[in-house]
Amino acid sequence: MQIGVESSKAVDNKRLFVVDTDEITRMALQFMLHDENETHDLPSLEAALEKSKAWKPDLLLLGIGVVREKGIAILADIKSRIADIKILLVADAAADPLIDACLRGGADGLLAKPLTVEAARKKVDTMLGRKRGIIPIHAI
């Protein structure tokens, strides 16, 4: 059952890949975003890159832990391997010093914890170029 999903999003279904070293974060984001998007929780960047060959994602939500493991250069590598991909970095805090380097190195945006359904959906919509709809008063 889709709760609070605009009909335009049900038709304009975008594919998201969620890759994070923290399984709980991956599962939480997949749960928060699956009603409005085709959301795939993937255990590794390698799995995401392999899956992207047949199922190109519109957006990659990438945990900062992956960047810590593989280095900032991985962001450019991802962009070279998945055409026109946008990368939304998921981090524990907006004040993490690695974030600025990631944003300069290829990440397109930041989603900082604590994660909420509304914040995650709003940020994903922004990254995908969607505008959050306003419910007309006569529809209430």
> pLDDT 10s per residue in the chain (140 long)?
444 545 444 456 899 999 999 999 999 999 999 999 999 999 999 999 999 999 999 999 999 999 999 999 999 999 999 999 999 999 998 888 899 999 999 999 999 999 999 999 999 999 999 876 544 444 44
Find where tokens 């399984």 sit.
23
pTM of the model: 0.85
Span between the terminal Cα atoms of the chain, in Å: 20
Superfamily of domain 13-128: Response regulator (3.40.50.2300)
* 105/9 Cα distance (integer angstroms): 30
* 114/48 Cα distance (integer angstroms): 24
